Structure 1
Amino acid sequence: MSTEKSLPKKIESLQAVASDYDALLCDVWGVIHNGYHLFPGVAEALQGWRDNVGPVLLLTNAPRPAEAVQRRLDRMDCPREAYDGILSSGDAAREILSQRGAEGQVCYFVGATKDVDVLNGIDIEFAPAEEADFILLTGMSNDMEETLEDYADEIALWHKHNLQLICANPDRIVQIGEQVIYCAGALAEIYENNGGDVIWLGKPHLPIYDTGFNRLQKLTNMETPRILAIGDGFKTDIPGANAANLDVLFITGGLSETLTQETKTPEDIAAILRDYDSYAHYFMKHLSW
């Protein structure tokens, strides 16, 4: 895969680069939907890729199992024919919970009711912070209303008990409709920056890319499939793809547009990503075939 840091090329459709790749590794929130509905033409773009090129694996930092992510896509009328599988950071969190439960460790859970699917069927004891061995953080309890300042006392409690924190969603912010809300990654970053011990799951960290590569090897029946990564996250999708040595398509109609950042020219894109020590090979507003 290319690692050249030249200016990204604007493309109008996936067909423009389809002949150079064998598979897609595609972000979900901000690329496929905005929290409420699908972006126009995205499902057709993914189906076009599957019909004409190869498999599509969705890679998401959602702190929920892949099945829960799929149910959400179903409710938005995203056809299952648009993708071959889903890989979520929630699945990675479940693996760690199962391992630690078998070791007799006790977990302190911090997150919203909507995230409890990640705990279902796990044989592990849960307790308040004062009695726990570690924290599982999936996000804020009420992310539509709470701010980072609301968690100052909570974070101080974690420090007081010197708890290791497992961050099941490294995203700092996410778009819901026209609103931007804070995710687990924003809280975990504060904790880590003040000396807290954090285990980061999902993008931009390499283990989830290794898992994704292995899945795409099987789906393509190829030893080294040429993979195009797609995302809109400055701190997650793009740096992660760079670290994994994957070519990457930056979607400007997700977080970048919501944050009203100028993303009309290759120079705009390069300048934005440079702040995160990352770069993209291509860019477009929303996926189209």
Structure 2
Amino acid sequence: MTQIISTLSEVSANYKALFVDLWGCVHNGITAYPAAVAALQDYRKQGGVVVLVTNSPKPRAGVAEQLSQFGVPDDAYDTIATSGDSARAAMFTGAVGQKVYFMGEWQRDAGFFEPMKVIQNPVPITRVPLQEAEGIVCCGPFDPMADPDVNRADFLYAKQMGMKLLCANPDIVVDRGEVREWCAGALAKLYTEMGGESLYFGKPYPPIYDLARRRLAELGVDVSDRDILAIGDGPQTDISGGMGEGVDTLFITGGLAAKDTQTTEQPEPAALEAYIAREQIAPTYSIGFLR
């Protein structure tokens, strides 16, 4: 049974580092949550290290810029690990070929194709039409409000041609303010269900956690798994991912699961237990909102 807590500070002293999700925990895609920011600032003042671990397809620098726009100050975190950086590394080592069909919003996602200094002898990548592609790079849907099924015809062609789909964001949906949008994970899920091969690099898959640990190492921080707390509102990304890594987890119930867990300030205990049983997760702790 998960332990419902009222504030992060009730348990944070037990951990040397936090792996913190962003969307639904620290901001809502439009603006920062002041209480969450304050909780992370307080944790860092006590000597803890905050790694923001996000399924954003953006490179680290792009996420940092976005956070500033949302009102998340620099002193709320130490470093950032993004699904985008993990997926970019795979792309530049040829995971889906040299000629790729890009799915996403180019104005938002162009940074995905910027060179990575850490990759030696990167594969030259060229964006081409689907009929000329060797593989697919998916940062998100062309229209986040459209049902993923609109891509079925293109995916059927891609599957028949043996293309792999590189998914830069395994999230299925996200709430931008009060509006729910489809993410790249929904497209990858459809492609897989159709018999295609999708490659994932964000939560809950190991590559992004490996990157998060490398980010800690860059800071000169060496911590064991028992000293890490993973925080997030995604049951099948943040919580399942943390569980798979063998670290404790804090489930933010007021994000994607707010309705199911009947969260206003805190989750309704019976609704929460029913939800985590249905999702087959076992978060160490749960809280309505990060604070």
Paired position in structure 2 for 1:105: 98
Moved more, 227-236 or 267-276: 267-276
Gaps of 5+ in 1: 1-6
* Greater relative CO (CA pairs within 8 A, separation 6+): 1
Q: 1:137 touches 1:167 (CA, 8 Å); kept in 2?
A: yes
Moved more, 197-206 or 207-216: 207-216
Which string of whole-angstrom CA distances, capped at 9 and with x for unpartnered residues, describes residues 164-221 of structure 1?
A: 1111100000011111111111111111122111111110011221222343355463
Paired position in structure 2 for 1:235: 236
Paired position in structure 2 for 1:4: none
Q: 1:230 touches 1:249 (CA, 8 Å); kept in 2?
A: yes
Paired position in structure 2 for 1:132: 133
Gaps of 5+ in 2: 117-123
Identity of aligned residues (%): 36
Pair 1:107–1:254, CA change in 2 (3 A): same
Q: 1:18 touches 1:53 (CA, 8 Å); kept in 2?
A: no
Paired position in structure 2 for 1:83: 77
The structural deviation recorded for 1:77 is 1.5
1:136-155 mapped onto 2 (5 Å cutoff)? 136-143=137-144, 145-155=145-155
Which string of whole-angstrom CA distances, capped at 9 and with x for unpartnered residues, describes residues 218-247 of structure 1?
A: 546335260010000021111000000110
The structural deviation recorded for 1:119 is 1.2
Pair 1:247–1:227, CA change in 2 (3 A): same
The structural deviation recorded for 1:126 is 1.8
Inter-partner Cα distance in structure 1 for 2:67 and 2:223: 30
Inter-partner Cα distance in structure 1 for 2:148 and 2:221: 45
Inter-partner Cα distance in structure 1 for 2:219 and 2:114: 28
Paired position in structure 2 for 1:67: 61
Q: 2:250 touches 2:285 (CA, 8 Å); kept in 1?
A: yes
Q: What amino acid is the match of 1:277?
A: Q
Q: What TM-score does the superposition give when structure 2 sets the normalisation length?
A: 0.90
Q: 1:270 touches 1:279 (CA, 8 Å); kept in 2?
A: no
Paired position in structure 2 for 1:58: 52
The structural deviation recorded for 1:157 is 2.6
Q: CA RMSD in A?
A: 2.0
Pair 1:220–1:18, CA change in 2 (3 A): farther
Q: What TM-score does the superposition give when structure 1 sets the normalisation length?
A: 0.90
Paired position in structure 1 for 2:288: 285
Paired position in structure 2 for 1:118: 112
Which string of whole-angstrom CA distances, capped at 9 and with x for unpartnered residues, describes residues 144-175 of structure 1?
A: x3222322222223223221111110000001
The structural deviation recorded for 1:261 is 4.2
1:1-289 mapped onto 2 (5 Å cutoff)? 7-100=1-94, 105-113=98-106, 114-121=108-115, 123-143=124-144, 145-217=145-217, 219=219, 221-224=221-224, 226-257=227-258, 259=259, 261-263=261-263, 264-288=267-291
Q: 2:97 touches 2:134 (CA, 8 Å); kept in 1?
A: no
Pair 1:227–1:217, CA change in 2 (3 A): farther
Q: 1:55 touches 1:219 (CA, 8 Å); kept in 2?
A: no
